[in-house]
Structure 1
Amino acid sequence: MSKITGVFPSLPVATTEQSLVSHAGLNVVTSFVDALGFRDLCEDRLGQFVPSGAWHRPGTILGSLAVMLAGGGEHVSDLDILRTGAGVFGKVASNATISRFFERTVTNPDLFSYGFATLTRELRSRAWEAAGDRNPALKATALDPLIIDLDATLVTSHSDKEQAVGTYKGGFGFAPFVASVDYGTGNGTGEALAALLRPGNSGANSAEDHIKVFTQAIAQLPDAFYDQDGKLIGEKVLVRTDSAGASRKFLHYLASLGVQFSVSYPVPVMKARMVAWINDKQYWQPALDQDGNERTDAWVVNATDVLGLSDYPPGTNLYLRAEPLHPGAQPTLLDTDGHRVTAFLTNSPCWHGPALDARHRARGRCENRIKTLKTTGLGKLPFFDFHANQAWANIAVLAMNLVSWLQLAALPTGHKARGWDMKRWRYRLFATAGKLITRARRTRLLIPDKAPETETITTLLAAITELKNSLRQQDRLLA
């Protein structure tokens, strides 16, 4: 008689009253939230959206939602995961309480948006300052500006919601516009500055929407990006977009603020006399990859004087890139000598074409940030009211940024987790289980010493404790 053996051990299951916490790894996020002074800031900016005698204050509501979304939750009902670990996450508001909170935000959406924007700006300032020499505000210069990527995306709505309409792809939902910061290669995954919710039929090339989301984005930048008169120091900022942002109105607006730009440009139809010049690579420079090495059979040239530009801001240059067709790409009439020719516009003070091209091609990283933002709440908007969904989108941005700020401020340079995406954080660190014990009248959270990221958790908690003590000392000095 053969013995049946399963792939995995077959164990009997029983319930227990022990204080077990399934997502104990989220303790690093809750500790970071408290270290930034989140509760007091929320009370100051958004206290009017909660009745004066209410037990659950704005900090408790917004903090628990942000932590839940960062941990992988998608709906308000997913707060149940935090409720089962009250010893770690505190008392979480009921779904009904949270619903009433969002109803109050709808009554005065402009006031909530302003309060939330000032809240996140102060949090960002504190997190960036804690980053020390990695502070993006300190590193930004005219030759190495802070890069803000602007890009639109689509969010599908599976039920009827206010301002949810058909999209150009045949779907139904919204077309949010996202502004995000690129930290650069090896400096973390970047963060989001603003998410402007729009109806699904909104155009991607709207200059007005580009200006609006850019205005929201620069309002999030710390004081280091403004002079003594409160005017933006435009040369320290570069806006990077696809060809939808190449409108003259938008580029003139950026130039009026002194802001640099790097935008994709629809390649004009090449004239017959231009083809031979493009094929003659003696006028071109070898293109570079993101590590500064020359790419094989890829070229860049400044074609401003040859192709010409009209009605664009002074100092705008047109660069062409010629590279071999990617596998599976369909040739077009503009492809010459087996190369695909693309173009971008920039007013950067740097004139080294290959370096400018490499910086512009890195715009593709913003797609990863948008994907992350969708997995932290933007991908499933839960309310019917448009302004309530905008408030939810803002909280999704906060949830994403809490992890980005952790990477920036609490992890040492070169740490492996500084390049992790959100899914990896959730699976390897946030899902770490724990157990609450009480000894000598003190409650402690135990995590397995053999867990894959125990060392990362202890490193983060030590850095967060140092940050908390530093901010407290600053508050005492200011008082």
Structure 2
Amino acid sequence: MQLTAWSKDLRVTAGGSGVVSHVGAALLRLLADRAGLTAGLSAGLARAGWWPMHDRGRVLVDLAVMIADGGEAISDIDVLRHQREVFGPVASDTTVWRALDEIGAVQLRRIAKARAKVRARMWQLFGGPPAARAAGRDIGTGVVVLDVDSTIVITHSDKEGAAATYKHSFGFHPILVTCDNTAELLAVKLRPGNAGANTAADHLDVLAQAIAQVPAKHRRHLLIRGDCAAATHAVLDWLHEQDSKRGRRVEYSLGWSIGEAERAAITALPAQAWSPAINADGGVRDGAAVAELTGLLHLPGWPAGMRVIVRRERPHPGAQLTLFEDR
């Protein structure tokens, strides 16, 4: 009760005195409380015989609200602290630092468990996730689509874990998995800037974390999407292993690197092998076509039943073409 007492008798109006800025952040905080996330994090981070002045679940929720409100540094928590009349007591930036420093592998597992429990409850309240869409139509009832990809986060100082990236910048290179059905970030693996784009162990770790975040009843039919960095032997073998489990279907649509064998197969394709490509809205993509290369490639060691599809389209203005592409 102490965690949620701040919102007792809270009202949002368009006029009156005592106006405060960033009051919309209160709605996010209230959502976390009513969904059970704040209490779940508090229980997961509690320690016997230890009662900190600022509950750790409350601290993490306030930190998330601060980031959603545009905060870029832990000191930005002061935006909430300075509006005590709305948010009640909010931890200082030094307390937030201590709270984060207390989190280790055990606490991370407890946080993940609390998130998964709240997500299962919310999906149940909404009657399950909405259908994912592609080419202007629903992919299928009950299919949960997980998108895995890495991104570059630039930093302008020598922070812990920061390093030079393959894009000649400096910062971090995390891998994220999002749910296309709901636009939720399910899992993220923090990595230094020089981490490899196609490191299979990192992909397997973050995918396993993401699947654990999907409520059990909705894991029966998954579609994993990613670029060619995820198309390693280890990842594809693991996906086929997941697909072989009773009561579960796991499909994938991953990028594929173009090498000499693929170039030779593309060259050998007859004109009639190409079909018009489709845009995300279902309309025909002007000047683009797709074809299947599977029968023209020798794929030893790759999982049986895997198909290779290629797309061609008109070059974008200013595109630098290889000799093969130009031809």
TM tier relative to shorter chain: 0.7 to 0.9
**4+ residue runs over 6 A deviation:** 140-144
Q: Distance in 1 between matches of 2:29 and 2:35?
A: 10
The alignment status of 1:193 with 2:182, answered yes or no, reads: no
State which structure, 1 or 2, has the greater radius of gyration over its C-alpha atoms.
1
- 1:46 corresponding residue in structure 2: 45
How many corresponding residue pairs?
Answer: 300
The alignment status of 1:225 with 2:218, answered yes or no, reads: yes
Question: Greater relative contact order (Cα 8 A, min sep 6): structure 1 or 2?
Answer: 1
**Residue 243 of structure 1, CA deviation:** 1.0
TM-score by length of 2: 0.83
The alignment status of 1:100 with 2:98, answered yes or no, reads: yes
Secondary structure at 1:78 match in 2: helix
- 2:227 corresponding residue in structure 1: 242
Secondary structure at 2:50 match in 1: coil
Secondary structure at 2:255 match in 1: strand
Task: Give the counterpart letter for 1:197 in structure 2.
Answer: L
Is the 2:226–2:255 contact (alpha carbons within 8 Å) kept by the matching residues of 1?
yes
The alignment status of 1:261 with 2:249, answered yes or no, reads: no
Within 5 Å, give how 1:249-328 maps onto structure 2: 249-258=234-243, 259-269=250-260, 274=265, 277-278=268-269, 280-328=270-318
- 1:204 corresponding residue in structure 2: 197
Identity %: 36
Q: Distance in 2 between matches of 1:252 and 1:142?
A: 24
Secondary structure at 1:313 match in 2: coil
Residue 158 of structure 1: which of 148, 156, 175 is its match? Answer: 156
**Residue 135 of structure 1, CA deviation:** 4.7
Q: Distance in 2 between matches of 1:136 and 1:112?
A: 33
TM-score by length of 1: 0.58
Alpha carbons of structure 1 residues 248 and 272: separation in structure 2 relative to 1, 3 Å: closer
- 1:130 corresponding residue in structure 2: 125
Alpha carbons of structure 1 residues 274 and 92: separation in structure 2 relative to 1, 3 Å: closer
Is the 1:128–1:136 contact (alpha carbons within 8 Å) kept by the matching residues of 2?
no
Kindly report the root-mean-square deviation, in angstroms, between the aligned alpha carbons of the 2 structures. 2.6
The alignment status of 1:56 with 2:46, answered yes or no, reads: no
Is the 2:131–2:139 contact (alpha carbons within 8 Å) kept by the matching residues of 1?
no
Q: Distance in 1 between matches of 2:233 and 2:190?
A: 24
Secondary structure at 1:300 match in 2: strand
Superimposed CA distance per residue, residues 137-191 of structure 1 (whole angstroms, 9 cap, x where no aligned partner)? 9xx98786322111112223333333333322333332111111112xxxx6x12
Residue 79 of structure 1: which of 71, 77, 80 is its match? Answer: 77
Is the 1:56–1:93 contact (alpha carbons within 8 Å) kept by the matching residues of 2?
yes
**Residue 288 of structure 1, CA deviation:** 0.9
Superimposed CA distance per residue, residues 412-452 of structure 1 (whole angstroms, 9 cap, x where no aligned partner)? xxxxxxxxxxxxxxxxxxxxxxxxxxxxxxxxxxxxxxxxx
Alpha carbons of structure 1 residues 292 and 123: separation in structure 2 relative to 1, 3 Å: same
Secondary structure at 2:102 match in 1: helix
Alpha carbons of structure 1 residues 58 and 110: separation in structure 2 relative to 1, 3 Å: same
Task: Give the counterpart letter for 1:311 in structure 2.
Answer: G
Secondary structure at 2:176 match in 1: strand
**Residue 51 of structure 1, CA deviation:** 6.6
Is the 1:42–1:59 contact (alpha carbons within 8 Å) kept by the matching residues of 2?
yes
Is the 1:128–1:135 contact (alpha carbons within 8 Å) kept by the matching residues of 2?
no
Q: Distance in 2 between matches of 1:250 and 1:273?
A: 26
Alpha carbons of structure 1 residues 289 and 19: separation in structure 2 relative to 1, 3 Å: same
Q: Distance in 1 between matches of 2:92 and 2:275?
A: 62
Task: Give the counterpart letter for 2:167 in structure 1.
Answer: K
Residue 110 of structure 2: which of 109, 115, 134 is its match? Answer: 115
Secondary structure at 1:292 match in 2: coil
Alpha carbons of structure 1 residues 172 and 298: separation in structure 2 relative to 1, 3 Å: closer
Q: Distance in 2 between matches of 1:225 and 1:144?
A: 7
Task: Give the counterpart letter for 2:172 in structure 1.
Answer: F
- 2:18 corresponding residue in structure 1: 19
Q: Distance in 2 between matches of 1:73 and 1:274?
A: 50
Task: Give the counterpart letter for 1:309 in structure 2.
Answer: L
Q: Distance in 1 between matches of 2:129 and 2:148?
A: 23
User: Which shifted more, 246-255 or 39-48?
Assistant: 39-48
**Residue 268 of structure 1, CA deviation:** 2.7
Q: Distance in 1 between matches of 2:120 and 2:301?
A: 38
Task: Give the counterpart letter for 2:24 in structure 1.
Answer: G
User: Which shifted more, 164-173 or 243-252?
Assistant: 164-173
Alpha carbons of structure 1 residues 169 and 266: separation in structure 2 relative to 1, 3 Å: same
Secondary structure at 2:308 match in 1: strand
**Residue 130 of structure 1, CA deviation:** 2.5
Is the 1:275–1:336 contact (alpha carbons within 8 Å) kept by the matching residues of 2?
no
Alpha carbons of structure 1 residues 269 and 32: separation in structure 2 relative to 1, 3 Å: same
Is the 1:46–1:58 contact (alpha carbons within 8 Å) kept by the matching residues of 2?
yes
Within 5 Å, give how 1:3-14 maps onto structure 2: none
More helix by share: 1
Within 5 Å, give how 1:179-190 maps onto structure 2: 179-183=177-181, 190=183
Is the 1:150–1:180 contact (alpha carbons within 8 Å) kept by the matching residues of 2?
yes
Q: Distance in 2 between matches of 1:133 and 1:181?
A: 13
Q: Distance in 2 between matches of 1:265 and 1:147?
A: 19
Where structure 1 has 5 or more consecutive residues not aligned to the other structure, the ranges are 1-17, 227-232, 338-479
